[in-house]
A and B are shown apart, each in its own frame.
Chain A
């Protein structure tokens, strides 16, 4: 298959060999699990249990609410201890509502939904419902509720399900191990997803630095003519949805459009495996593979960890710290988030826990920009980081927005390559946050203005009606004459509000 060139990108030190040969090890069930209500993009789930409730493994303990949300299930059997605020796996370390579950050590499954024996014979809706009630979210890190993405086939005709096994982040090998050890499950999950989406083709994209995964997946896919495994070049950030689509199909997703608009839906390989479990066995998403790595970890591993296990438990199982970690990162070193505390739990989007030494991070104080232009050459989005950061430093966010800062997806290539060690992504994250705030403020103000206008009209109308009623009483013979033009304008404004 022809592979198309993708602009820019970098070749960081991958250091995947630290854990690539470490098979998936099951983390012993911790005594206590911490399950946050929000582990995904969208609204937090609604709690279904109270303190003291006994629960079985796989029992739904929080239900999705609103249009974008995901349910959560008990990762083991035990008793609900408390529903309280616990530090979130987020750079702020701020607390969020979390269900605390005390394990009874039995790890007993509860009543699960019936397995769907022939998923290819059922209506796509049934698959979608099963994925939704199994609490599956995108496991590549974005944690977008998968059921919503599987529903895209209802809205438009789709051509390709692209399974993302690129795993372009350095250090991470969890997807690599899943593909090597559970290739059949991944391929089966992908075929089920393709059925739900209505896509005739499945393409599995894997970076060339994972030859064993490519081999295992090719073997697993060999009996299915519509499933194809494609090796893509090792080039960070190949795992970005838009860039992977471009490498494989040659099509550049237009700005403000989704790959689905091109007829391509992208899902992560681990998500496909979770779908396999949910559909074939009725098992919800209660555990995931996490790469625990980095120079400060004594014994790096790939762990199958229950959702809600404290990060400290994982680190301890890996022998603790061999050196002082400069930063502990949730995810890969390029796009991962710094963790404020090891007390935060593993969530559905946790692909890696990296304890990195100062030497690995190689951070230095920023010096002046020498305009070398490397950041422009490597930007996979075709932006001009050097210019944008100069404007952001002057707090001229409007110009930065004109230069396209909102198109930046914070892949980190520019910061990585900068010889002056300028924290470019940090500037862009700041600008994006501020611009989003400004935009939401602007919308809010517009809404308030509109509502105020409507209120004035409503009050006027009421007063007029009153006057008309009075007039009708005093002059019952006279005709009521509403003012035509003003009435139309009011109607238009009201329509706007209702819209």
Chain B
């Protein structure tokens, strides 16, 4: 008998060209333009911190894999640690000291990812865990915002000065600036209404292009939006989470702004400030920690939008995107259970459909 092949596994004997590595790589590609532009805006200190954070994530991933006895090289090749580090760096203050990036990487990769079993097993978005743990533990270092100082422009720190900023923690006082959300919140606490404080934040054009203080990768909205649309075109993400998240945020903000413009900022302001767009396309859409079905993703996105708005307006922190994502992450398993698709030939309860009239 001429045995030609082992018949160990059932079909199919064909496979699409998708792979985990390819997916991660496409996301990195989509992030690249916005990242490059923001690194240019925030200069050498940002480049240093970005490199340190991504490098730390990859190194910690390697250590964790080694400790867990999993294949190190093959798993690193999936690029998921690079993506986590990249998103984490984008969510940090651009001129934060080096240890912020390293500690955040430990929390993100070791605690949020590998303690839960590695890729695919984590409940919470690793990059957002890294960011929020740092924000709660080191509130001062995590809120040093600076206005953009484009590379090679007058007043931008040179390489030596940048090393002092990143490794010495010497951010000159004259260079720091408040983020728009932070400014509004501070002014409100001093009794100054939104209508008045809004005049001091950058105008809509600067907010959209990225000429404002904020986290390293969140400010160049147009490029982030372009990256997000690219991911949709590549079918890596679908419209459900971004649209439901930004839609719910916009609607509730616009509603309250209409009711009390002195207390609440407008829907548009909420869309263009903070990490809204970055979060909607790149963070809330994380596969592992968001619901798997499309209807579940709509619920999830809407939850993130509403929570973000609530935290921005009623909690102690000016920005609530990361918290909102983490809170909704914890609901993902429950959302998954209640948003399973309807099976063919069955109703939502799983009972067979009634027999229809003949054609």
Contacts and interface: CB of A to CB of B under 8 A. Distances in A.
B352 interface: yes
Contacts of B297: 373
B294 interface: yes
A83 interface: no
B4 A335 contact: no
Contact of A412 (B2, B11, B22): B11
Interface residues of B, number: 52
A254 B359 contact: no
B73 interface: no
Contacts of A253: 345
A374 B23 CA distance: 12
Given A382-B343, A384-B293, A262 B13 contact: no
B3 interface: yes
B314 interface: no
A419 interface: yes
Given A327-B5, A370-B23, A386-B292, A257 B355 contact: yes
Interface stretch (A7-15, A35-43, A106-114, A467-475): A7-15
B338 interface: no
B353 interface: yes
Nearest to A12: B14
Contacts of A160: 359
A299 B227 CA distance: 46
Contact of B344 (A242, A326, A368, A369): A242
A333 B356 contact: no
Contacts of B10: 91, 337-338, 410, 423, 425-426, 429
Contact of B356 (A251, A383, A407, A412): A251
Given A262-B355, A368-B121, A381-B343, A342 B12 contact: no
A168 B138 CA distance: 59
Interface string A1-35: 00000010010110000000000000000000000
Contacts of B354: 254
B11 A417 contact: no
A328 B14 contact: no
Contacts of B13: 327, 329, 333-334, 336, 338, 354, 356, 360-361, 363
Q: Which of B10, B17, B341 has the most CB of A within 10 A?
A: B10
Contacts of B68: none
Nearest to A312: B2
Contacts of A7: 344
Given A255-B344, A333-B11, 12 more contacts: A10-B16, A91-B7, A254-B352, A254-B353, A255-B346, A339-B4, A362-B14, A370-B23, A372-B23, A379-B341, A412-B14, A423-B10
19 contacts: A91-B7, A170-B14, A254-B345, A255-B344, A261-B355, A327-B5, A338-B7, A342-B2, A342-B4, A361-B14, A368-B119, A370-B23, A371-B290, A376-B341, A382-B342, A417-B18, A420-B120, A426-B9, A426-B10
Contact of A367 (B3, B7, B17, B20): B20
Contact of A159 (B4, B288, B352, B359): B359
A420 B20 contact: yes
Given A263-B358, A338-B7, A370-B120, A376 B17 contact: no
B78 interface: yes
A371 B122 CA distance: 11
B15 interface: yes
A376 B292 contact: yes
Contacts of A152: none
A339 B4 CA distance: 8
A394 interface: no
Contact of B5 (A325, A336, A370, A383): A325
Given A263-B358, A419-B23, A325 B341 contact: no
A104 interface: no
Interface in B301-358: 336, 340-346, 350, 352-356, 358
Contacts of B11: 329, 333-338, 410, 412, 415, 425
B343 A404 contact: yes
Interface of B: 1-5, 7-20, 22-23, 75, 78, 80, 118-121, 287-288, 290-294, 297, 336, 340-346, 350, 352-356, 358-359
Contacts of B345: 242, 252-257, 407
A182 to B, nearest CB: 28
Interface string A387-427: 10000000000000011100100101001111111010110
Contacts of B9: 338, 363, 423, 426
A404 B350 contact: yes
Contacts of B18: 374, 417-419
B204 to A, nearest CB: 35
A427 B317 CA distance: 47
Contacts of B291: 373
Contacts of A387: 292, 336, 340
A367 B23 CA distance: 14
B111 to A, nearest CB: 18
B292 A373 contact: yes
Contacts, number: 211
A156 B356 CA distance: 15
Contact of A93 (B7, B290, B293): B7
A416 B11 CA distance: 9
A426 B13 CA distance: 12
Contact of A376 (B19, B80, B121, B293): B293
A373 B15 CA distance: 17
A264 interface: yes
A181 interface: no
A338 B14 CA distance: 12
A491 to B, nearest CB: 35
B292 A338 contact: no
B344 A407 contact: yes
Interface in A236-261: 242, 249, 251-257, 261
Contacts of B2: 312, 341-343
A417 B4 contact: no
Contact of B15 (A251, A415, A429): A415
What 10 A-B pairs are tightest by C-beta distance, nearest first?
Answer: A412-B12, A373-B292, A338-B7, A255-B345, A368-B120, A255-B352, A263-B358, A254-B353, A362-B15, A419-B18
A143 to B, nearest CB: 17
Interface in A302-320: 312
A331 to B, nearest CB: 8
A93 B1 CA distance: 10
A333 B358 contact: no
A264 B356 CA distance: 12
A129 B5 CA distance: 41
Interface in A217-275: 242, 249, 251-257, 261-264
A151 interface: no
A407 B341 contact: no
